[in-house]
Amino acid sequence: MSTESGLHSPGDEYRLLPTRRHFFGRSAVGIGTAALASLTSRSGWAQPNDAIKPRDAGVLTQYHHPPKAKRVIYMFQSGAPSQQELFDYKPALQQHERKELKDFVDMNQRITSMTAGQSSFPLAGTRYKFAKHGACAMELGSELLPHISTLADDICLIRSMHTEAINHDPAITFFQTGHQLAGRPSIGSWLHYGLGSMNENLPTFIAMVSRGTGRPNCQPLYDRLWGSGFLPSSYAGVKLMSIGDPVLYLGNPAGLNASARRRMLDDLEKLNQQKLEENGDPEINTRIQQYELAYRMQTSVPNLTDFSDEPQHVLDAYGPDVLNRGTYAYNCLLARRLAERDVRFIQLFHMGWDQHFTLPEQLPGQCRDTDQPSAALVNDLKQRGMLDDTLIVWGGEFGRTSYCQGTLDAQTYGRDHHPRCFSLWLAGAGIRKGLSYGSTDEFCYNITENPVHVHDLHATMMHLLGIDHERLTYKFQGRYYRLTDVHGHVVNDILT
Amino acid sequence: MAIPSDATEYITVSESPMIVQIPCSKIVRTVRRTGIAISGVAFVIALTLPSRPLLAGKSDEPIDFNAQIAPILSDRCFHCHGPDAVDQESNFRADSKESLFADLGGYSAVVPGDLNASEIHKRIRSVDPDLQMPPPHSQRSLTEAEKTLLDRWIEQGASYQGHWSFELPIRPDVPVAAVREAATSAGWDPALVARWLQNPIDVFVAQKLLEQQLSPASEAAPATMLRRASLTLTGLLPSTELQQRWSANATEETYDFAIEELLNSMAYAERQTLRWLDAARYADTDGYQVDFERTNWPWRDWVIQAYLNNMPFDQFTIEQIAGDMLPGATESQQLASAFNRNHRQNAEGGALPEEFFVENVIDRVETTSTVFLGLTVGCARCHDHKYDPLSQREFYQMFGYFNNIGENGFGRGLDANPTLKTVSPLSTVEPQWVPTARAAEQNLEIAKQGLAQRLQDWIAEQDAPKSDAGDAQPSDLPSSSADDLKVVPIVDEVTLDQRIGSIFAKPSGKRTSEDHETLRQHYETIDQPLKVAKDALDVANQELLKHNSPLVTVMVMRERDGDPLPSYLLQRGQYDQPVTTEVLPRGVPTALLLDGETQPRNRLEFARWLVSRNNPLTARVTVNRIWQEHFGTGLVKTTEDFGMQGEQPSHRELLDWLAVEFVESGWNVKALQKLIVTSAAYRQASQTTDRQLAIDPENRWLSHGPRFRVDGFVIRDLALQASGLLVEKPGGPSVKPYQPDGLWAVIAADIAIDYQVGQGADLYRKSMYGYWKRAVNPPQQTIFDAGGREVCNVRVRRTNTPLQALALMNDPTFVESARRLAERVLKLPRLSDEQRINELVRLALSRECDAAMMVILQDNLNFFREHFATEPTAAEQLLSIGTSPRDNYLNATEHAALTATAHLILNLDEFMSIE
């Protein structure tokens, strides 16, 4: 592939051709077409669709470097899963149970006002078993995550994530937009803006929400998490609904069947065409096309959400909730179906991971919701050969404290927010397999090796998608904004 | 300003009719002394400089520094050689005239007239990556055209000016004679020339058209013209009555009357207010994750009233920024100050009040700066502004105007002092009820104050008889302290009494805290002073509610007593990193002050400075925003940014003329609106030719009339208006129209928190009254590009997406509107199909149906007539959509068929377009 930097040889370019064809093959209006036009003119690679004006091409006319990932499935665990129970085993916490954290570490951090008033910060060890998994011997909280633990040799676990925010709203907004305050575009919006759409009858960025059974009354979410910020609203994520029409206003009104709708659209096009001829405003032509696209969505979405073509063993793999709309399992299977349909950025949000108190009552439910379906999704993609060009991300917005919030006993202990270190895992396109990356001190307070900031994660994600995060910018209020603000480094260590 | 008064700089205009060399500093001084009044000397310059498209033009044409050079320097150089003093990589400053021309050690960046001696020329032309500027890796490389422009600028003498928008606007002469001559020689029809010389706007627009070798379009058809004016002024179609009057007699004079009528309507005030709500980030909830409800809507109604009464914009500004500080501030003026309390308010458990207090104050600084000054000061929160002359220190000097209201940075907005209890200014309730209600509230507070003591007395009283005579029976308790026997014990009361009795049976030392709580709760139901106060309040409240105007809490501004809270520079913008070694005096950026002008000392003086004649920005920014409403794009496209990185105005002289006119008219908003909508430029037909599209795809030179999609608020209002469903009642609490089920619940903290769709008239109020929840915005609006009201938004965006098509096709709002529109037409006496269709079109599009359209619509109606004749159930289903009643006497097949045709019309591009 031709790039501005010319980082690779003609041999590489040849090797990438089939991938490229796969990238662009499905759609005449995808990202593709603009990039394709520039490529074909160089390689003499003629394509009958060249003449079609890309309607939803991205702002980038070509990748900054060859992409590894074609799409992203981001399984966001909202509320912040406890790394001490799931990913980052700390026997020292059990050893020193009930002793004061400040006796071991210099507690210079900000503490939320929820526990700032505590007179004591006693260490709380996990109640759950960890074990080493896979050929790579990755240590995971397999008592709570038995299925994800089987993925050890496929994933890269980062134990050294860190962030700046200490409350949910700023932290999750930061994870989604690179900024703690509302107003900036989310990751998926940036990608849509940069790379355009790969398909012609579904949105490019889809968000799905599910409620945790471990803690059903939980931290809420908000539309701006998949919003487009200062980018035009057409780049906003489309939230698939778990009640009513999956896409808002998708269904025809009662009494208007498909043939009635078709007739309406035919006459609408005629009338809009008349107006176009009379007036000449090109927006009218765009409007005509958008109505047709809407009509195609009306037929493609029901097909998307109809699981009747899934074999039983696939349904079984995702677990008992897979047919219950609105569950995490359902959303995981839907994510795979969206990925197959060339949706570029698919993001699941599972709520309820905020275990301040009674962690042992809440956490197992959260894990049951997500463990099997998350693993099933990765395996399903793998079996279909799609894991190679799909980037998987699994994690929350910050970590949890090693000291106890609430009463410290086996059933009631809980953990407050901890932004200084936490865990998150990645898998798929371009990600090294079976790698445990970064580490924290024995009290899970500070990072001791290879810190990965949220901006670094964003930079790395964009890198895998063929984008130099410093070069995808949007001018707003006189400034060139980017997802990573003025920060972020690609974490090359975790890349193949 | 950037140009010091002692510097002498020459503007050289070569090869133009007049060759002028005037010391630039003299211009600047003249401008400063005379303020907004016309300055002959400076104006000669302005007019002599022909304008030209950016980056184009022949090599001998004089360069306009502001239009052609400054944008390049700003965009490609300032990032490293700009106002950000800390992040400079070298001492060289491309934003400073001194630095540009200074001796940098045997050489200068710019030597006027001498290309080869100019270091800039060498550097931009260098191919050595170590010398090349901007550096190849910076991603700020210059295009060949830009390099050529810089070279030509140097060759032509390198004239330098301060940034255009930081200079006071001066009213230019209207170039009538020049335009008459040019238009005539360009072959414009004499009638056209005459028409375009009447309104000063048109003379300036014509000047640009002639320069671009474009000619104006013909006048729009009368019906189109009135519809356009009605839509951009009021967001509604003209009334049938006005349409009829206008179509019977469309003259200059009757157009004038029609515009007056529109300007005096409540719809005008509501439309202008809606746009102000976006700028003021108004919402019905607090935002952040908890997103509690708040009740700031009386402020929204204050804005409506201000627009209705055509409050002068300077007063409008002062009252909203500092109404609370005006001497003897009225309740209305205090309410106005809620403008700066529409910020979000964080109540997330664990959040730190100090942190979000700082965010609130910064939001005020940013919103005020964007709305009134068109400046993006937010950049200076963390470091000196990269492009504009605004230091981080100055940012926190502005912070000082807004940090002194004693607010609580944490918790619900309703509790985040200061607040005001008030009613809507649009309330129709008899005025005495407001003070009555307020007095009743105060009395209630007084009654509550003595409650603890009375409770103790009561308990003591209850305890006492036991030792005295032991005659207190539990069932006597409720009336024991009350003569009034209206409190009749009911069954539950008895058990309650038994509980009370058993509590009193215990020795007082053995009572638990729950017991005390039970006693307290019980006592509150029988305490006489409390009961009297509550009853009085109920009476007053009921009267207020009858008029839909409850007494509610509005977050307002109110200065703290005592010394102002100190303002410090916050390192990296962090709330917990103040530089406490220096208390910053309040101040505005000095680049915006005249030489010797004193700094505003407090928020009120700041507000007055905003609308003073010494302020170069507010009038321009305001005029530009109003222009944007009518033409779809501002004269400065970057409505939010008039700084170095903002777009240059397409018509600089026009913008300045309008700004001065606006100020000198007494900041008369309606007069400005009228000036714009009566212009020939505005009244052109919107038809576009291929040539126009090729030369000027965005129609910035205005060679035809505006055509753009209305926003989601207007689309819904138009459908309701066409159907006759629209309830034109102004003001009051926000309402909840149809919204798809579950939108709130699926992402709420608790699935039980859901949107409760309103009833009756609430479903058909104007969209501007729709409840705005920040966490979950109404999809009907966001699908059509509404901002989220998290932060200030002044730029209009328009996308064209399939989700918009889905909403218009399937949202019950539009189906119900179509049903009622059809019903409205079917109820007219004995019409033919053709006449009915014509009525549909007239009601929805405000024009007669033309022949070509009639053919398609008749065919459509016939199709659906047959369709529903064979599908009677489908007809019934379609006619059941929406809660408004249906006339069951109408034939269902006919009604459903005409509904389908009406629905088609509500989906037309024309229906949703200003054209």
Q: Is B23 helix (H, G, I), strand (E, B) or coil?
A: strand
B452 and B531 Cβ atoms separated by less than 8 Å: no
The reply to whether omega before B134 is within 30° of 0 (cis) is yes
| Distance of alpha carbon A33 from alpha carbon A39, whole angstroms | 10
Backbone angles phi, psi at A255, to 5 degrees: 95, -10
Q: Is A294 in contact with B645 (Cβ distance < 8 A)?
A: no
Q: What pLDDT was estimated at residue B206? A: 98
**Chain B environment of A168 (Cβ under 8 Å):** 289, 348
Q: What pLDDT was estimated at residue B85? A: 62
A133 and A412 Cβ atoms separated by less than 8 Å: no
Which residues 836-855 on chain B approach chain A with CB closer than 8 angstroms?
852-853
Which range, of A51-55, B57-61, B338-342, averages the lowest pLDDT? A51-55
Token code pair at residue B422: 């008030």
Band of the pLDDT at B58, cuts 50, 70, 90?
low
Q: What is the DSSP string of B444-458?
A: HHHHHHTHHHHHHHH
Band of the pLDDT at B465, cuts 50, 70, 90?
low
As to burial, measured by CB atoms within 10 angstroms (0-12 exposed, 13-18 middle, 19+ buried), residue A156 is: buried
**Chain B environment of A243 (Cβ under 8 Å):** 741-742, 745-746
Could you list the pLDDT tens digit for every one of the 496 residues in chain A?
A: 333 333 333 333 322 222 333 333 333 333 333 333 333 332 322 233 322 234 478 899 899 999 999 999 999 999 999 999 999 999 999 999 999 998 998 887 777 878 877 888 999 999 999 999 999 999 999 999 999 999 999 999 999 999 999 999 999 999 999 999 888 999 999 999 999 999 888 999 999 999 999 998 888 999 889 999 989 888 999 999 998 999 999 999 999 999 999 999 999 999 999 999 999 999 999 899 999 999 999 989 999 999 999 999 999 999 999 999 999 999 999 999 999 999 999 999 999 999 999 999 999 999 999 999 999 999 999 999 999 999 999 999 999 999 999 889 888 999 999 999 999 999 999 999 999 999 999 999 999 999 999 999 999 999 999 999 999 999 887 778 999 988 999 999 999 9
**Residue of B86, B137, B139, B288 to mutate, testing the A interface (most A Cβ within 10 Å of its Cβ):** B288
B867 pLDDT above the threshold of 90: yes
B40-60: average pLDDT? 38
**Chain A environment of B357 (Cβ under 8 Å):** none
**Residue of A225, A281, A481 to mutate, testing the B interface (most B Cβ within 10 Å of its Cβ):** A281
Give A436's strand partners: A157
| Distance of alpha carbon B532 from alpha carbon B454, whole angstroms | 15
Q: What pLDDT was estimated at residue B882? A: 96
Listed in sequence order, the residues at least 6 apart from B571 whose beta carbon sits closer than 8 Å to its beta carbon are: B577, B578, B579
Distance from CA of B390 to the nearest CA of A (A): 13
Nearest CA in chain A to B900: A264
B907 and B809 Cβ atoms separated by less than 8 Å: yes
**Chain A environment of B749 (Cβ under 8 Å):** 217-220
Token code pair at residue B654: 């026009």
| Distance of alpha carbon A31 from alpha carbon B592, whole angstroms | 45
**Chain B environment of A227 (Cβ under 8 Å):** 788
A223 and A349 Cβ atoms separated by less than 8 Å: no
Q: Is B115 on the interface with A (CB under 8 A)?
A: no
Q: Is B221 on the interface with A (CB under 8 A)?
A: no
Residue in B646, B776, B806 closest to A294 by CB = B806
| Distance of alpha carbon B710 from alpha carbon B247, whole angstroms | 24
B75 and B55 Cβ atoms separated by less than 8 Å: no
Q: What pLDDT was estimated at residue B466? A: 53
Q: CA distances (Å), B141 to each of A151, A181, B4, B77, B875, in order?
A: 47, 32, 31, 10, 64
Q: In this predicted model, which residue has the larger pLDDT, A282 or B84?
A: A282
| Distance of alpha carbon B555 from alpha carbon B366, whole angstroms | 18
Q: Is A274 in contact with B853 (Cβ distance < 8 A)?
A: yes
ipTM: 0.84
Q: Is B865 on the interface with A (CB under 8 A)?
A: no
Dump strand ranges (E) for A225-331: 238-240
As to burial, measured by CB atoms within 10 angstroms (0-12 exposed, 13-18 middle, 19+ buried), residue B158 is: buried
Residue in B410, B806, B878 closest to A256 by CB = B878
B34 pLDDT above the threshold of 50: no
Q: Which of B348, B288, B748 is nearest to A351 (CA)?
A: B748
Q: Model pTM? A: 0.84
Dump strand ranges (E) for B757-915: 913-914
| Distance of alpha carbon B593 from alpha carbon A428, whole angstroms | 58
Listed in sequence order, the residues at least 6 apart from B315 whose beta carbon sits closer than 8 Å to its beta carbon are: B667
Q: CA distances (Å), B908 to each of A257, A265, B215, B845, B846, in order?
A: 20, 10, 30, 9, 13
Q: What pLDDT was estimated at residue A218? A: 87
Which range, of A135-144, B56-65, B611-620, B693-702, averages the lowest pLDDT? B56-65
Token code pair at residue B343: 């910020």
| Distance of alpha carbon B56 from alpha carbon B152, whole angstroms | 12
Distance from CA of A319 to the nearest CA of B (A): 22
Token code pair at residue B643: 């700084």
Q: Is A249 in contact with B907 (Cβ distance < 8 A)?
A: no
- What is the four-CA torsion angle of A485, A167, A415, A147, rounded to 10 degrees? -50
Q: What pLDDT was estimated at residue B7? A: 33
Q: Chain-wide mean pLDDT for chain B?
A: 88
* pLDDT > 70 in chain B, percent: 89
Distance from CA of B871 to the nearest CA of A (A): 9
Which range, of A27-31, B633-637, B741-745, B746-750, averages the lowest pLDDT? A27-31
| Distance of alpha carbon B107 from alpha carbon A81, whole angstroms | 62
How many helices (H) does chain B have, and how many strands (E)? 38, 8
Q: Is B350 in contact with A222 (Cβ distance < 8 A)?
A: no
Q: Which of B11, B169, B202 is nearest to B656 (CA)?
A: B169
Nearest CA in chain A to B906: A268
Residue in B688, B873, B908 closest to A279 by CB = B688
A343 and A75 Cβ atoms separated by less than 8 Å: no
B506 pLDDT above the threshold of 60: yes
CB-side exposure of A221: number of CA atoms within 13 Å? 31
| Distance of alpha carbon B375 from alpha carbon B386, whole angstroms | 13
Q: Is A478 in contact with B349 (Cβ distance < 8 A)?
A: no
Q: What is the DSSP string of B628-668?
A: HHHHSS-SSS-TT--STTSPPPSSHHHHHHHHHHHHHTTS-
Radius of gyration of chain A (CA): 24
Q: What pLDDT was estimated at residue B388? A: 85
Q: What pLDDT was estimated at residue B505? A: 83
Q: Is B867 in contact with A281 (Cβ distance < 8 A)?
A: no
Band of the pLDDT at B479, cuts 50, 70, 90?
very low
Element (H, E) at A424: strand A422-428
Element (H, E) at A140: strand A138-140
**Chain B environment of A257 (Cβ under 8 Å):** 871, 874
Which range, of A233-247, B450-464, B870-884, averages the lowest pLDDT? B450-464
Distance from CA of A272 to the nearest CA of B (A): 6
Distance from CA of B662 to the nearest CA of A (A): 25
**Chain B environment of A233 (Cβ under 8 Å):** 782-783, 785, 797, 799, 801
Q: Is A252 in contact with B810 (Cβ distance < 8 A)?
A: yes
Q: Is B113 on the interface with A (CB under 8 A)?
A: no
Band of the pLDDT at B482, cuts 50, 70, 90?
very low
**Residue of B383, B577, B621, B809 to mutate, testing the A interface (most A Cβ within 10 Å of its Cβ):** B809
Q: Which of A398, A330, A423, A362 is nearest to A168 (CA)?
A: A398
Q: Is B907 in contact with A291 (Cβ distance < 8 A)?
A: yes
Q: Is B289 in contact with A471 (Cβ distance < 8 A)?
A: no
Backbone angles phi, psi at A475, to 5 degrees: -85, 120
Backbone angles phi, psi at A134, to 5 degrees: 75, 175
Residue in B289, B353, B688 closest to A281 by CB = B688
**Chain B environment of A326 (Cβ under 8 Å):** 746
| Distance of alpha carbon B340 from alpha carbon B398, whole angstroms | 14
DSSP A238: E
pLDDT in tens, B667-726: 999 999 999 999 999 999 999 998 898 889 899 999 999 999 999 999 999 999 999 999
What count of other Cβ atoms lies within 10 Å of the Cβ of residue B380?
A: 26
Q: Is B853 in contact with A221 (Cβ distance < 8 A)?
A: no
Q: Is B141 on the interface with A (CB under 8 A)?
A: no
DSSP B263: H
**Chain B environment of A417 (Cβ under 8 Å):** 350
Token code pair at residue B97: 């005239």
Nearest CA in chain A to B362: A181
The reply to whether omega before B802 is within 30° of 0 (cis) is no
**Chain B environment of A477 (Cβ under 8 Å):** 370, 376, 378-379, 638, 640-641, 645
Token code pair at residue B732: 């009051």
Q: Is B788 in contact with A223 (Cβ distance < 8 A)?
A: yes
Q: Is B350 on the interface with A (CB under 8 A)?
A: yes
pLDDT in tens, B807-842: 999 999 999 999 999 999 999 988 999 999 999 999
A460 and A485 Cβ atoms separated by less than 8 Å: no
Q: What pLDDT was estimated at residue B86? A: 64
What count of other Cβ atoms lies within 10 Å of the Cβ of residue B843?
A: 19
